Structure 1
Amino acid sequence: MVVAADHREELKAVIRARSFRQGKFTLASGRESDLYFNMKPTMMNARGAELSARCLLDLLAAYRFDYIGGLEMGAVPVIGSAAALSSAAGQPVETIFVRKEKKGHGTRDLVEGLSPGESMDGKVVLVVDDVATSGGSFLKAIEAVREAGATVTQALCLIDREEGASEFLSQHGVALGSVFKGAEFRT
């Protein structure tokens, strides 16, 4: 898995300026950390969105899959950007996302992005998220996609905080790759 060095370094600078903080923070996992990444300001910035998608697409080139997708909200901006860039390049990457809860109205779907008549049966899904800490968000998406009939053996993120997600996911038959490791941002 190789990410173009110029995209990677520019994305790192955008993350450092828009999404990274040092201090004392309680994370979604409940753990405390001295590093904090709120990737939404990066992924919702025009250049940050493009760079995040380009780096993700660089990693995806090493895998065979039918869809990429992940849990709302962390995965949605980057997979949307990746879908648009991949289509513009003539190499479309199809995407889905997993709701945290089934909709209370309409189709009541947990996995979104499929058109009527499409199914996850027999499909290979590569699960994506913005940041990996414990792996809990990944597992929610993995379980939902597997329940819908797909196979998941690989996950990717923009930043692996190296706080147990890789080991946790491997216990569930999923390998984790990343663009960055959290330690790369320590000053």
Structure 2
Amino acid sequence: MSNIRLVEAKLPTGFRFHPRDEELVCDYLMRKVALTDTFQLMIEVDLNKCEPWDIPETARVNSKEWYFYSQRDRKYATGLRTNRATTSGYWKATGKDKAVHSKGTIVGMRKTLVFYHGRAPSGTKSDWVMHEFRLQPTFSVSTFKEDWVLCRISMESSYDDIGSSPLPPLMDSLIRTLFSPIWTQICRKKHKQLLDK
């Protein structure tokens, strides 16, 4: 049983893991980078080897969001650009990075990315959204090779062509949790349909 499942088993009914941006940076990412994360609630995922729909089930804390750590893969050995390509597509940044504050000080940044199927610049936008949290350089003790980020991934729209679930939200959440392998197959089928167009 994963650490996440152990924690969830002890939580009161109705509890959900929904930390603020500041908490993700200060309580999780800072501890990970400083190697003081004694209770490892989140797993590590290599985003270049994992499609969004294949994120391990153990990264799921609730039915709609996945939280995990990842090391940023540099596109070039001496550069600052991050490689965000996977086998099936790529993550594209949208908008400006947003500062994450704690007690009036900027402690990190949040970047919003959307997953595109195919290759840039002609990829097809998907419903997968990722918020990538990174520490401000003044708070980071990590080396260039160990550039940790904390990621939160969600799927904005869950259903093909319909645009919304035919089920009430709580039932939809329960169905997706109970039938997670089927849900993964649905996501893979949708991806294949986009590639066949």
Larger radius of gyration between Structure 1 and Structure 2:
2
Instruction: Give the TM-score range, shorter chain.
Output: under 0.3
TM value normalised by structure 2: 0.27
Q: Which protein has greater RCO, CA pairs closer than 8 Å, 6+ apart?
A: 2
TM value normalised by structure 1: 0.28
